[in-house]
Amino acid sequence: MIAFHTWNTPNGRKISVALEEMGLPYTVHPVNISQKEQFAPAFLAISPNNRIPAIVDPEGPDGQPISVFESGAILLYLAEKTGRFMPKGLRERVAVWEWLMWQMGGFGPMPGQVHHFLMQPEGPARDYGVARYHAETKRLYGVLDRRLAGRDFVATEGEPSIADFAILGWAWRHERHQVDLAEFPAVGAWYARMMARPATARGFEVALS
């Protein structure tokens, strides 16, 4: 059974959604990042960047255990392992890679900065940070909205891909980074479509902390 080391955050939720959608059995091992548990030597041994999520799969390549850190790498590993939520053709796979990397490089780090600056004491530094990263976050929602116009899923047709799971983890926190999905109707429709999937819903319901 896969050991899933995580906390109740967007990057953690990407993986709980993927595990549920893929029907893989797993155990949750909470890492309380507000209590600095991510710096424990046992966790650093599987996640040297001291960040959740990480997994340990006792049945990795050649039947040997493997650990994986970085949520994008975990999603790619799980897709490779199961043959699910990743198309077969190279052209189709490229679209999934593009949108997964788009999420990892922007649609996560930018709203994450909004969350950070909103927690700072009031003053010019907070105002500057919130304004800068909120504008960039809204730009990214605009990019996603244009991509999703007339499409059911961000990179695939017929069923979602791991790119949808990655992006959904952060869209789940749209209220926290002060984005109104009514301003982005294609994102709003996709969000509702994804959340209506029973396995995705379980991925957001499972206790991670």
5 and 32 Cβ atoms separated by less than 8 Å: no
Residue entry with tokens 């799980």: 78
Residues in the chain: 209
Question: 90-105 and 162-171 helices cross at what angle (nearest 10)?
Answer: 20
Alpha-carbon distance 171 to 123, whole Å?
27
**By CB under 6 A, is residue 52 in contact with ligand GSH?**
yes
In the complex, the smallest distance separating the C-beta of residue 61 from ligand GSH, rounded to whole angstroms, is 21
The count of chain residues that interact with ligand GSH, using the rule CB under 6 A, is: 12
Alpha-carbon distance 78 to 40, whole Å?
25
Pick the piece of the chain touching ligand GSH (CB under 6 A) from 44-52, 90-98, 124-132, 154-162: 44-52
Rounded to a whole number of angstroms, the CA Rg of the chain reads: 17
In the complex, the smallest distance separating the C-beta of residue 181 from ligand GSH, rounded to whole angstroms, is 21
83 half-sphere exposure, CB direction, 13 A CA radius = 1
Closer residue to ligand GSH (CB): 33 or 78: 33
Closer residue to ligand GSH (CB): 116 or 139: 116
**By CB under 6 A, is residue 11 in contact with ligand GSH?**
yes
In our burial notation (b when 16+ CB lie closer than 10 A, e otherwise), range 123-161 reads: eeeeeebbeebbebbbebbeebbebbeeeebbbbeeebb
Near ligand GSH by CB under 6 A: residue from 13, 22, 71, 184: 71
**By CB under 6 A, is residue 171 in contact with ligand GSH?**
no
**By CB under 6 A, is residue 70 in contact with ligand GSH?**
yes
**By CB under 6 A, is residue 38 in contact with ligand GSH?**
yes
Helix residue ranges per DSSP H, 86-206: 90-105, 109-118, 124-148, 162-171, 185-195, 198-205
Closer residue to ligand GSH (CB): 70 or 152: 70
Closer residue to ligand GSH (CB): 37 or 136: 37
Of 17-36, binders to ligand GSH (CB under 6 A) are 33
| Tokens read off for 77 | 């590993």
**By CB under 6 A, is residue 50 in contact with ligand GSH?**
yes
Closer residue to ligand GSH (CB): 52 or 144: 52
**By CB under 6 A, is residue 193 in contact with ligand GSH?**
no
Residues that bind ligand GSH (CB under 6 A): 9-11, 33, 38, 50-53, 70-72
